[in-house]
Every structure is written in C-alpha cells, then in structure tokens.
C-alpha cells in the first residue's frame, strides 16, 4: 500500500540519474522547458548542487531524491528515467539499482557514449523484465546539454513515443525542426553518435592542419588567424568548430601576461575512444575512412611528445634543414584562399566517409537509417553542426540511394572547382615539411574514388603469383589462374 500511496503523489514527468556536468545541465534544460523532473545521484552533494542551481536559475520544477526507491516512486507512470553515468560497468550498476523499483512498461534511457553492442545486450535484459530501453546519443557538450543538444535516440520505438514531447522541446531548434529524431532499432542511436564523433575527429584534425599551414608555411600571427577564421565562419565553412577556433586565437595567456594561450598548450591530444571505435567499425565493414583514420593516427602520434622532440634533434644532427619556419616570399592572400578551399573539400570527404559507414552498418543490421534526417539533426546543438549539413540533407533527399556524397552533382562540382587549390595546399605543405595527414588522406580518397582504373590489377597479379588467389579479366567472364613463374622464365629465355 505504501508504494501505491507514494506513487499517487508522484509529481515528476521524468527522472534523471547521474549528475556530473552533462546530467546536471540536461536536467535543468528539461525543467526549464516546463517538465517537472526528479534527479538522483549516489553522491548526495551533487543532488544538493543541482537543486540549488534549479532554484537560482529560475525556480525550475526540479526535485532532488536521495535513494533509488524514492527517486523511482516520485516519477509518474509509465516512468521514463535517463541515466547519464560513465559508459560500461557504471551503467549496469545504475540500471541494477534503479530497475529493482521499476515496473513493466517503464523506460530506461542511457544518454552516455556507450558501445552499441552493450546497449543491445541491455535492451534484451530490460525486455526480459518488461522494461523498455533507449540508447540515446547526446551531443553538444555542457552548453548543448543546458541550452539544446542534438539527440540521437535508438531502441524501443514505444519508449521514444513516451518522451518524444520532452525530447523535441529540449533539443536544439533549427528552421526545419528540433534536432532529434527516432534513429532506429537496437543500438543505432549509440552507433550514430559514435560516427558523429568520428567525423568530429576528422573535422578537428583538418582545422588544425589549416592552422599549421597558415602559421608555419604562411607566417600568419594569431590575431590574423582569428580574423581569418571569423571571416570563414561567415561563408561556406560556417560551423561551431570554425567559430570556436576564431575565439581560441584571441584569448591571451593570463598566467604569464603576454602572448596567446594557444601557444602555451602542450601538443598532446586526448581521446575517449569513440574515434577508435569508428575506425575499427569501418575496417570491419570494409568501408574506406582514411580521413578519420588519419585523424586518429595524428592523435596517437601527438601522444609521443618526448619521442618527437628527440627525433627532431636527431634529424637536425643528421643535416635535415627545417623548412617549416622558412616562410620566404608567400602570397598570403592566395594561400589563405587556397587553404579555405582545401579545408572545405577535405571536409566533404570526411563526412562522406562517415555517411558511408552509417549506410553500411544500417544495411548489416536492418536499421533503415535515414541519412538525410541524420544530417538534419546535426545542424544544431552538436559539435559538428555546420551550415553545409543542410546541403548534405538535400543531397540525400534528392537521391536516397546516393552511392557517395562526392558524386552528388552539387558536391562533385564544388570538388572539381576546389581541387587545384587543394593540390596547391598539400603540395606547399609537403615541400615545407608541414604534416597534413587529414588533407592528404581526403585528397587521396578523392583521387582514388574518381579514377575509373586503379593499379589494383597489378596487386591481383601478385596475389595470384604467390598464392594462386585467381583474378578476373576486364574482357572475359570467370576467374583465372596463371603459372606466372613458369611463363616469366620462358619469356626470359
């Protein structure tokens, strides 16, 4: 009876467990949109902190709960509970603690960066207890969580319908709707978020290469770079990452009081694992993703700071002359415009690779992903949000069966128009010894994909020579094997 009495008093429309930065901000966003919410965290000070913020930020309808039972019973049936804790074992532990008090028809929504197969396991475990389950990608960092993220929920469709009204209000809003859509069955929401992060790796790497070329081949100062990126953000490259890059170059170093902070930051990149998963999945599905792979490799190499400094010294001693700071006479205006074009063209390749990976996984799992709709929900709230995502959406609307973004007529035209500038930038970088693995990988991807005939015929001949793997011919059907060694010996006689 006690349970029924408490349930009758249940006031919250939804619950959220896990009040680190993302959880706290998402809970306040939900409350601010007018949905009463209960929050819970094992560390009680986090609950107090969130309740205090809700009070300070406008007397928001948010209630703190201090144990799993009270938390669950404070939510209206059918209950929906968002979990925002560290991926892996903590998610399983949280589910175990909460589901003990949940009833058939209730929903668990995991908003973390989880490996999609863990979500699929949890879906079947939840289903055995009569519970519904969603794995929901959340992008946009703490600001997105508080003011409007891009949301990628996958799993139980009835569970999505239970909270659709909340998600549509809480998500970032763009001119063609809220940045949320039902992604598909199973772990599709987590998989889509993973690929989003892989594309993000590519984007960040390409921008860092543009910076490197402009600074070390063009001799541009941080204040010039700030102006250039701000200008680029008013054109075809307009995006969240270009916008924040312009800001970064303007921030002074407050520790020493002179120079810009960006120059004082150690050149070692951290990572959480989603980029690595993206590259592994591309390999599993035989999808070429060289730009994303190059960005991952660059992060690995950045981690070898001591080795790189030692190598720099060794090569100097062996007579390698540094071209990197030897700017000489450079047409800055031309270089800036070339880099802009090269960055845009390289970016198209990176997004194309991500979309191809999504399409391949969708076919393998029967998820029926709508690539145009994914591009649309990435237009706001998320880290890779960019104006040109609208163009990607339209490309897939024009042709849902598009083999590759590169061959959409609009994108194909843009690549052709920019390829000369793209080649100049990669050429200058190679001459100066400025590494541009992302731009080079994108250019090589374009050059390989657009060629009607590749030197793979020779590779097939080699495979047949040493392993009798056979080959096909361009003029006759069937498989062939040749005794290459014998015939070569005869030819030598």
User: Is 125 assigned a catalytic role?
Assistant: no
Where do we find the tokens 């731009």?
Answer: 439
Considering 114, 200, 260, 414, which one is annotated as catalytic? 200
Q: Among 48, 53, 49, 81, which Cα is nearest to 66's?
A: 48
Rounded to 10 deg, the angle between the 116-128 and 188-216 helix axes is 160
Instruction: Give the distance from CA 255 to its chain's centroid.
Output: 32
Given a contact cutoff of 8 angstroms between Cβ atoms, the answer to whether 256 and 250 are in contact is no
Q: Which H helix or E strand runs over 313?
A: helix 305-317
CA atoms of 233 and 227, how far apart (whole Å): 10
Token pair 């009607």 is found at: 452
Q: Please give the span between the terminal C-alpha atoms of the chain, in angstroms, as a whole number.
A: 99
Mark whether 193 is an active-site residue: yes
**How far is 131 from 166, CA to CA, in rounded Å?**
20
In total, the chain counts a number of residues equal to 493
Alpha-carbon gap, residue 246 to 256, rounded angstroms? 22
- Residue keyed to tokens 């450079």: 330
Residue of 46, 193, 347, 393 marked catalytic: 193
Q: Where are the beta strands (DSSP E) in 169-244?
A: 173-174, 177-178
Which residues are part of the catalytic machinery?
A: 193, 200
């Amino acid at each position: 009876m006690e349970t029924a009495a408490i349930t009758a008093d249940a006031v919250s429309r939804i619950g959220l467990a896990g009040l680190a930065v993302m959880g706290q901000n998402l809970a306040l966003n939900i409350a601010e949109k007018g949905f009463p919410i209960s929050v819970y965290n094992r560390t009680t000070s986090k609950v107090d902190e969130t309740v205090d913020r809700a009070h300070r930020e406008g007397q928001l309808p948010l209630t703190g709960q201090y144990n799993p039972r009270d938390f669950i019973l404070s939510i209206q049936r059918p209950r929906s509970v968002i979990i925002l804790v560290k991926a892996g074992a903590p998610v399983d532990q949280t589910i175990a603690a909460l589901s003990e008090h949940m009833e058939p028809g209730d929903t668990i929504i995991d908003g973390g960066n989880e490996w999609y197969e863990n979500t699929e396991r949890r879906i079947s475990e939840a289903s055995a207890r009569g519970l519904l389950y969603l794995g929901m990608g959340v992008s946009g960092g703490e600001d997105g969580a508080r003011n409007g993220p891009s949301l990628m929920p996958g799993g139980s469709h009835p569970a999505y319908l239970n909270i659709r009204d909340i998600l549509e209000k809480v998500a970032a809003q763009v001119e063609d709707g809220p940045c949320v859509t039902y992604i598909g069955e199973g772990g599709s929401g987590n998989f889509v978020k993973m690929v989003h992060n892989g594309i993000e790796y590519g984007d960040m790497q390409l921008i860092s290469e543009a910076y490197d070329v402009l600074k070390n081949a063009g001799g541009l100062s941080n204040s010039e770079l700030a102006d250039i990126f701000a200008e680029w953000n008013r054109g075809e490259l307009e995006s969240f990452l270009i916008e924040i890059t312009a800001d970064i170059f303007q921030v002074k170093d407050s520790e020493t009081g002179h120079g810009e902070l960006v120059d004082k930051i150690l050149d070692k990149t951290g990572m959480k694992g989603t980029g690595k998963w993206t590259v592994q999945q591309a390999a599993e599905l035989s999808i070429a993703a060289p730009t994303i792979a190059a960005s991952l490799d660059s992060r690995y190499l950045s981690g070898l700071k001591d080795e790189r400094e030692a190598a720099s010294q060794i090569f100097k001693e062996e007579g390698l002359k540094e071209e990197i700071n030897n700017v000489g006479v450079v047409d800055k205006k031309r270089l800036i415009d070339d880099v802009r074009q090269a960055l845009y063209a390289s970016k198209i390749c990176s997004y194309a690779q991500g979309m191809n990976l999504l399409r391949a996984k969708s076919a393998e799992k029967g998820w029926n992903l709508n690539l145009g709709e994914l591009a649309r929900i990435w237009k706001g709230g998320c880290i890779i949000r960019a104006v040109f995502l609208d163009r990607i959406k339209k490309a897939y609307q024009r042709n849902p069966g598009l083999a590759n973004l590169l061959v959409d007529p609009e994108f194909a035209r843009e690549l052709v128009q920019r390829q000369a500038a793209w080649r100049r930038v990669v050429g200058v970088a190679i001459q100066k010894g400025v590494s541009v693995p992302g731009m080079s990988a994108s250019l090589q991807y374009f050059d390989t994909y657009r060629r009607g005939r590749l030197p793979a015929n020779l590779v097939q001949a080699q495979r047949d020579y040493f392993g009798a793997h056979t080959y096909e011919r361009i003029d006759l059907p069937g498989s062939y094997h040749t005794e290459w060694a014998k015939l070569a010996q005869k030819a030598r006689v």
